[in-house]
Structure 1
Amino acid sequence: MKFKSKGLISLDIDGKVYDYKLFKSLESLSKTKSQRKSAKELNISHTVFNRRLLKAEEKLGLKLTKKVGNGTFLTQDGLDLLDEFRKYQIQIEKTNNINIAGGHISSGLLESISRPYNINVYSSNDRDAFELAKRGAVDILTLDDPLLAYELNIDFTPIAYDYLVLISSPNAEEIKSINDLEGLEFINVEGSAQRLAWSSLEHYDIDYSLKYTVNSQFDAFKLVKNSDNLHSFLNASYFNGNDILKFDTRHVISLIKVNEDKPEVDEYIEFLLNDGQKEIEKQGFTLID
């Protein structure tokens, strides 16, 4: 698909213009996972909301949503479309605010502790956020996992530590040892620090399988809790779970300064490394050494 910005209110996709109402619908649905809740949030009827999605799918020739249990999730095409709209929106906006893009965990952390500062946050996975940073659309890139920085030999600034906990379905058998993980099915979160968990299981010679792949840890959590026997490894700062791989999955939450010409960015990073550390600890993260 070819995308072309038509301003803040629309996006030209392969010669057809889609107004902001579609993207507001996709954005709401990405959070609520319910067409009825999204329709209520947007103050329209469920019928109008559903018709809007079906009309867009017909024009695009793509499936934008899928039913999972009792919820409605965006498909990968739906997520890609929403990401493109968000990227153009950030690029078009002219603001003195600090623009931040990053993984769901790291960007969510900064959004939670930065009330004294004027920030705009774009939450995605590390690699998609990096693509946005390459366009020069953001001032700071945050990483849930430093792997990308290592791969590209980019200097990064640690701001906290985190680790992964095991989340299991309500009816799953209790996990008491690493050997109890043998043969289990897991939900994978793309672009997250879960690579540390999978590497650890392989190190311990544990046979496992990845049943589904989703785009955020919050989606993984919901799927696990609504299943009969699924599991996932998610960040301890956001989820309570079994810390069986605590020491194997400890990792750095970090940031990369993209904009060198904005004094507010240096001031903000200074805050995160000093006074902001108290706020970071309150959010469930471990302080940097």
Structure 2
Amino acid sequence: MTDEVKPVIGIEINDRIYNYKLFQSLDLLSKTFSQRKAAKELGISHSVFNRRIINAEKSLGYKLVDKVGSGSELTDKGLELLDIYHTYNNRLKKSDNIRIAGGHIITGLIESLDLPFNIQVLSTDNDNAYDLAKDDLIDILALDDPLLAFKEDLNFTPIAFDSLVLVSNDENNQKINAIDDLSNLDFVSVKGTAQRLVWDTLNFNDIDYNIVKEVKSQFDAFKLVKNSDNLYTFLNASYFKGNSVLKNQTRHSLGLVYNPGYDGKVDDFVEYILDKCSDVIRLEGFTPIGY
């Protein structure tokens, strides 16, 4: 017979360890808004439940629970403590899903692939995705541009190449034929993307330009410039149509950050993409690694 093993955690706060039973009590109270109902679900008396909360409040030095009418609810401090517990407790839960978070372009590519894996994908900006990775809440950090990986000395595995195109309203875009035509234009920049290659190129060629707004999403930048008479931006050629004036200067890799050898299913996932998905990657507008 196989024993069922379920890990539980306590949390150390100011050199004192608080038992998992406290956090189970706070969790149930947050759902039932009743100490009596929460105590009943835990199989303990109301007096034991109440004493557990009071003892923790005395030790912590702040209130965890407030009376509201005939019921109870968690204070802001109580909710904050419960959120910390959930964060750490979630790390102990095994999941069949491979959890991935990262840039809109590469996560869109991953979701377009026909993969024999259960995946859970979150499209967000680099900063939020990296925070999730540092908190060990995802298995793979997916990056639209490798700069963050290089800055933080992370293990980066490229899976495709892309380049950037100049996007603006159609009439203005047709006027750009060479790099000198970019002089003194107003640009919308997108944080965390390969646009750094554009600015480096313009600076190297002594081209004056103005960055008038920064956004987090390429789709936000697209909407801004398409609805403007004088704004420009550079976006990924795999997703957006535009002028390829700086195609050669903006070729860059998209890839994954993970710990090889730590989780076999994650290793298999990355290997499958590299070995089996070249044709689909090409159809999606990217250049597969090795081509």
SS for the counterpart of 2:110 is helix
The amino acid of 1:204's aligned partner reads N
2:101–2:107 CA contact under 8 A, matched in 1: yes
Aligned length: 206
Q: Which residue of structure 2 lines up, in the alignment, with residue 225 of structure 1?
A: 226
CA–CA separation in structure 1 for the residues paired with 2:231 and 2:114:
35
Q: Which residue of structure 1 lines up, in the alignment, with residue 156 of structure 2?
A: 156
> Cα 1:114–1:135, aligned 2, differ >3 Å: closer, same or farther?
farther
CA–CA separation in structure 2 for the residues paired with 1:199 and 1:94:
44
Q: Which runs of 5+ in 1 are unaligned?
A: 1-5, 11-83
> Cα 1:259–1:137, aligned 2, differ >3 Å: closer, same or farther?
farther
2:159–2:288 CA contact under 8 A, matched in 1: yes
**1:144 to partner: Cα distance:** 0.9
1:170–1:228 CA contact under 8 A, matched in 2: no
Identity across the alignment (%) = 49
CA–CA separation in structure 2 for the residues paired with 1:184 and 1:121:
36
**1:115 to partner: Cα distance:** 4.5
1:288 correspondence with 2:257: no
**1:212 to partner: Cα distance:** 1.3
For residues 127-154 of structure 1, the C-alpha deviation after alignment (integer angstroms, 9 at most, x for no partner) is 3211110111111111111111111222
SS for the counterpart of 1:154 is coil
For residues 221-245 of structure 1, the C-alpha deviation after alignment (integer angstroms, 9 at most, x for no partner) is 1111111111100001111111111
Q: Which residue of structure 2 lines up, in the alignment, with residue 184 of structure 1?
A: 185
The amino acid of 1:285's aligned partner reads F
Q: TM-score, normalised by structure 1?
A: 0.66
Q: Which residue of structure 2 lines up, in the alignment, with residue 52 of structure 1?
A: none
**1:262 to partner: Cα distance:** 2.7
1:200 correspondence with 2:204: no
Q: Which runs of 5+ in 2 are unaligned?
A: 1-25, 31-82
> Cα 1:229–1:94, aligned 2, differ >3 Å: closer, same or farther?
farther
Matches within 5 A, 1:238-253: 238-253=239-254
The amino acid of 2:241's aligned partner reads N
1:169 correspondence with 2:134: no
CA–CA separation in structure 2 for the residues paired with 1:222 and 1:118:
33
For residues 32-59 of structure 1, the C-alpha deviation after alignment (integer angstroms, 9 at most, x for no partner) is xxxxxxxxxxxxxxxxxxxxxxxxxxxx
The amino acid of 2:226's aligned partner reads K
